[in-house]
Structure 1
Amino acid sequence: MTIKKQFILLSFCIIAIPLLCMLFILCYGYLTSSNRILLHGYRTIQKSNNFALSNDDINLIYKSINNLPPDVQAVLLTEDFTVLLSSIPNFKQNSSLTQKDFWNFIEKTSDRYFYQFMTPTQQQRTILVTRVDRAKNKKTKGKGVLLPLIIFICIMVSVCVFFIIKISRNIFGSIINLEKDMKQLADGNLAEIKKNSRKKDYSNEISSISENLEKTRISLVEAQNRKYKFIMGISHDLRTPVAVIKGYTEALHDEVISDKNEVKQTLELINAKSSQLENMIDTLINYTKLNNSELRDTLTSESITDIIKDFAKESDITGTIFKRKIVTNIELTQNIEIPLNKQLVQRVFENLFSNAIRYTNENDIIAINSFIKDNKIIVEIKDEGSGIQEEDLAHIFDLFYRGTNSRREEGMG
C-alpha cells in the first residue's frame, strides 16, 4: 500500500473515532430521552375543544412529560378524573373514572409500583400521575438497542485504533530500516545488509527506496570486485611480456641467438614487449577509467588486420625461443578497421598464446589462423596440448578460473 493511501486511511480512522463517540452520545441521549415515553398524542390536546387548556398549560405539560425517565409510566387526568393521556394500560385515553375507582386501582397496584402525583399546570386543573416498577425488571426499548450500539461502536473504534497502530508502525518501521541501511553504507560497510525480520511487512515508497539502496549497494560491491579483479588480471597479464623478455635476454646471453639479423629481431621484440609492459603499467595506474561507459569512450578505429599480422609475426619469434613450431595462416587480404582498444585486444591474443606455450611441450605445433566467415573476423589459436575438459568449458570466460589440467601450475586462479 502506498504512503498516500496509508495516510488517507490513517486520517479517516483519526476522524472516525470522535465521530463514532459523538454518534454514541447522540444515540444514547435519544434512547434515554423522555421524548420516547409512551405518551402519544399529547400535542392533540391543544386541538381538542373538550378541555380548555391554554398554551402555557400545554407547554408545562410538555415540559413535565419530557422530564420523565423512559422507564416511567404516566397518566394525565383532569380535575374530574378524565384521562387526557396515558401510558398505563388500565387507563384508556378520553375515558372517565370515578375518584373511588382511581384510588382503588392505586391501592391494588401500590405493592408493585411506586406512584407520584404532581400538577403540571399553573391553575392545577390537571394531575400527572407517574409510576415506576418496584422490581425494575422491565427493560425499555432503548436499553435493548443500546447494548448492540455500544458493541458496534467499540468494534469500530478498535478497528480504527488497529489501523492507526499498523499504519504508524509500517511507516516508521520503513523509515528506521532505511536509516539503518543508509548508516551501513555511510560507514563503508558494503557487506550484505542484514534483513529485518519484519521488513517484508513494510511495502510502500520508503521500502522501495530501501530496495533501490540495496541495488546500489550491490552495484558498488560489483564495481569494487571488478576493480579488484582488474588489478589481479593485469598483474597476471604482466607475467607474459616479462617471461618473453626474460626468455629473449637469456637466449642472447647464452648465445642461442647469434645471427645478426635474429639478434636485431630479438631486440626489436624485446623493445616491443617492453612497450607493451609499459602500457600495461599505465593501464594499472589508470584502472579506474576502465568501466564500461569509459571503456567505450576509449575505442578507436584501428586496423585489426595489422594487429593480427603483427601478433603472428611476434608469436613466430617467441615460439622459436620456447622451442615451439608456429604455423600461421592469415587470410586477411584487405585492411579492415574496426573500433577497438588496441592494448586490450593485444592482451587477449598474448594471453591465449601464452597459455598455448605453457600447456604444450617442446616441438609441439601451435597454429595461428585468421579468416573471415559470415562477415565476422575469426582468429584461432590451436595447440597440441591436453585441451580443456568438458566440465571446464562453461567456465572459460570466468575471470582467473583454472581448469583441471592446469591445477599443477602455480597462479592466481
Structure 2
Amino acid sequence: MKLRELVFINAFVVALTLALVNYYFQGNIYDLLLTFIITLVICYIVFYYLIERYIYSKIKLIYKLIHNLKLGKDLKDALGEYVSDDPINDVENEVKEWARVKKTEIDALKQQEQFRRDFLGNISHELKTPLFAVQGYIEALQDDAMEDPELAKQFLDKASKNIDRLSLLIKDLDSISKLESGEMQLNYKKFDLTVLIKEVIEQMELKAKSQTIELIFKDKYHIPTLVYADRDKICQVLINLIDNSIKYGKENGTTAIKTFELHDQILVEVTDDGAGIEEKHLPRLFERFFRTDQSRSRQIGGSGLGLAIVKHILEAHQQTITVRSTEGLGSTFAFTLARAKSSFPI
C-alpha cells in the first residue's frame, strides 16, 4: 500500500467517526458533511506529515541500507540513493529474502564445519596409520630384527610401502590444494582422446589382469576424437577412474570405456559391473577421504583422494562429472570435455 493511500484511509476513518459523532449530537446533515470534509483534510495533512516525518522516512532509510548493502555497496553509497516508491512492502520482501539467504548461509556454514571435522579426523587417521606402522617396524629393527637379515629386509620393505603411502597422500593433498587455489595451471591443447584412452588402458592392463578384470574399449572408437583440454590432467582423470573400477570391481568382471559426441562436448563414460554404490552415498562420493566401505577401502589402499582430484581437475576445465550406480550391478562415472574446433591450437 502506498503512503498516500495509507494516510487517506486513516484520515477517512477518523473524519467519518467525528462526523457521525457530531451528527448524533447535532442531528444536522450539513454539519455532518462540513465536519467530515474539514476533518478529512486536516487529518490527511497531519497524518501525512507525521507518518512521512517520523515513520516513513526511517523505513525508507532502512530499506536503502538493506537493498544497497545486499548489492555490496559501501555505507555512503547505501545512504545516497533511493530506488523504491513503496518501501514498506519492499522492506518486508527484502527482510524475508535476507532471512532466507542468511538461513542458507548458516546451513552452509554448519555443513562446512561438519566437513572440517570429518576432514581433520580423516586426515589424522590417514597419516597416523602409516606413521605408526613405520614407527613399529623401525623399533622392531632397533630391538632384535637386525640380527636376522631376512626378517630385517621384510620389515624394511613394509616400512618402505607405508612411506610410499604417505608420499602418495601428501602428493594428492598438494594437487588438490593447487587446483583449488588456481596455482596449478592447465596446459590446454588439442589432442586425440581415443589415443589417450588406449594409452591408459595399456598402462592399466597389468593391474586389471591381476584382479581378473577385462578392460574394454571397442574397435568402433578407432575414429579420432579431438578434444581441447590439458592432456596430462585428463590422463590422470582416466587413470583414477579406471583404477577405481579395478579396485572395487568383481572377480572376472569388466570395465568399459565409452565416448559419445554431443553438440560441443565429448562425453566419456567409465562403467564397471562391480558391487555398485548405495544411493545414499552418491552425493558425498567426491568428498575427500570419503569411503563407502571403510574396512575394504583400507585393505585396498590408496589415498582416498582419487575422486576428489578427478572432480577438481574437471571443474578446473569448467566441465562436469556425474555418477550413477545400482547396488549389485555396477557404477558408471561420466564426464564431459570440450570438443576441439579447427581454430584451437595443437
**TM class, shorter-length:** 0.3 to 0.5
TM-score by length of structure 1 reads 0.36
Q: Normalization by structure 2: what TM-score?
A: 0.41
Which of the pair has the greater relative contact order for Cα pairs under 8 Å at 6+ separation? Answer: 2
